[in-house]
A and B are shown apart, each in its own frame.
Chain A
Amino acid sequence: MPMLTQPKLNFLYSEPATLESRVGNTPLIRLSRLAADLAPAVQVFAKAEWFNPSGSVKDRPAANILRAAFENGDLDSSGERRLLDSTSGNMGIAYATFGATRGIGITLAVPANASPERLSILRALGAEIVLTDPLEGSDGAILEARRLAHERPDRYYYANQYSNPANWQAHYLSTGPEIIEQTDGQVTHFVAGLGTSGTLTGTGRRLKEYNPAIQLVAVQPDAPFHGLEGLKHMDTAIKPAIYDETLADVNLSVNTEEAQRMTLRLAREEGLFVGISAGAAAVAALDVARTLDEGVVVAIFPDAGFKYLSERFWSNK
């Protein structure tokens, strides 16, 4: 067998084979058995965001926030400043992944009740973790990140995913155009859970520019106290600065147990082993789809189920 020579190896890739270049372009997967009761001309698709390199939709904003921070000079390759933010998990994993590739230290304020799987992944990726009071939830982590940023502006670049425009712009530049292309422009409804609101805001703005008739459906927990990791009850939480309350055409609230039941059904009837916020998005997407005679509904499924295995509901029948 002929051996490849060194010069030839240099030309194996026509594009830079970096991890960041693999962010986005996630597949659309059509729901079939769960959509069996819908009108024949209604299709529901999951945008399978766990196909991103670090396993969640958060790769898009994290990579874009890092890119923007390098462009603005907030961070540089000397690695002297660290990126700081608050997160309940996925955003931290994405920051830590791309921070590692760029040689940037990552410091995260994380509520102590974030799932143990997530904390282990963050530690494996070398992130510095500051645990915050579990009774204060993600808002407690936000306040701690603010405090650290204020105390040590020399040490930290405070990325603040809740107010950083590079968050929603990532979706405007990638998620939105991908959905238009993948549905051949036929998308009629877009469904996304609200956490920072970046996904709905960025994707939604792009879709509305393409076709103002596309309906944007925002999904929230039905109560301030809930088990839908990554989602926020906007009326009672610290409102993200990037949240545009006027953008969504429809606001739906989903109950934790309902989302958990749907998460089990997605695994068992569609082979989609996804996280609980994907279950919530599916509840909302199917609720909307049931009211239609025809349409193409696309829902964001933020991540896979691995990081939630310590939750008790998986053992439900």
Chain B
Amino acid sequence: MATIRIPTPLRPYAGGNAEVPVSGNTVGAALNDLTARHPDLRKHLYTDSGELRAFVNVFLGQEDVRHMQGENTALKENDQLRIVPSVAGGAMG
């Protein structure tokens, strides 16, 4: 199973987890699985029209998936995705 690392400000909407195991063979499927498990995340990550918000970056390793195949980027077992805002907002409980 791949995992998604959650930035601190979003952890309250992800059951307090820093990392969430997800199923899916693509980045899009994995993100869908994440928001299915934690629906509160959805409005923080996506616009009303269902696109990733412009300041939300998803990294596979060191690579921004937008520079790969976007949501169609293939995921392997044990891959780790990271959700990173393009700026440093800052939030700790």
A interface list, Cβ under 8 A from B: 88, 110-111, 113-115, 134-142, 221, 223-233, 236-238, 256-257, 260, 276, 310-313, 316
Sort chain B's interface into a size bin. 20 to 34
CA distance A115 to B5 in the complex (A): 20
- B84–A139 contact, CB under 8 A? no
B interface list, Cβ under 8 A from A: 5-10, 12, 18, 44, 47, 53-57, 82-93
Distance in angstroms from A143 CB to nearest chain B CB is 8
Q: Known contacts A135-B5, A135-B8: does B90 contact A227 (CB below 8 Å)?
A: no
Distance in angstroms from A118 CB to nearest chain B CB is 10
- A111–B92 contact, CB under 8 A? no
CB-nearest residue of chain A to B13: A225
Which residues of chain A are within 8 angstroms of B5 by Cβ–Cβ distance?
135
Secondary structure type dominating chain B contacts: loop
Complex partner residue of B9 from A137, A231, A276, CB under 8 angstroms: A137
- A237–B92 contact, CB under 8 A? yes
- B10–A225 contact, CB under 8 A? yes
User: Nearest 9 CB-CB pairs, A to B?
Assistant: A227-B55, A138-B90, A224-B9, A111-B88, A229-B87, A88-B88, A137-B90, A224-B91, A139-B92
CA distance A2 to B65 in the complex (A): 65
- B84–A228 contact, CB under 8 A? no
CA distance A111 to B89 in the complex (A): 9
Which residues of chain A are within 8 angstroms of B90 by Cβ–Cβ distance?
88, 111, 137-142, 232, 237-238
Distance in angstroms from A255 CB to nearest chain B CB is 10
**Sample of 7 A–B contacts (CB below 8 Å):** A88-B87, A88-B90, A137-B91, A139-B90, A141-B90, A226-B9, A226-B55
CA distance A237 to B90 in the complex (A): 6
Which residues of chain A are within 8 angstroms of B18 by Cβ–Cβ distance?
135
CA distance A136 to B18 in the complex (A): 10
Q: Known contacts A224-B9, A227-B55, A311-B55: does B89 contact A233 (CB below 8 Å)?
A: yes
CB-nearest residue of chain B to A226: B89
- A137–B88 contact, CB under 8 A? yes
CA distance A302 to B61 in the complex (A): 34
Distance in angstroms from A225 CB to nearest chain B CB is 4
CA distance A224 to B8 in the complex (A): 9
Distance in angstroms from B89 CB to nearest chain A CB is 5
Which residues of chain A are within 8 angstroms of B82 by Cβ–Cβ distance?
134-135
Which residues of chain A are within 8 angstroms of B55 by Cβ–Cβ distance?
226-227, 256, 311-313
- A224–B12 contact, CB under 8 A? yes
Which interface residue of A114, A221, A224, A310 has the most chain B CB atoms within 10 A? A224
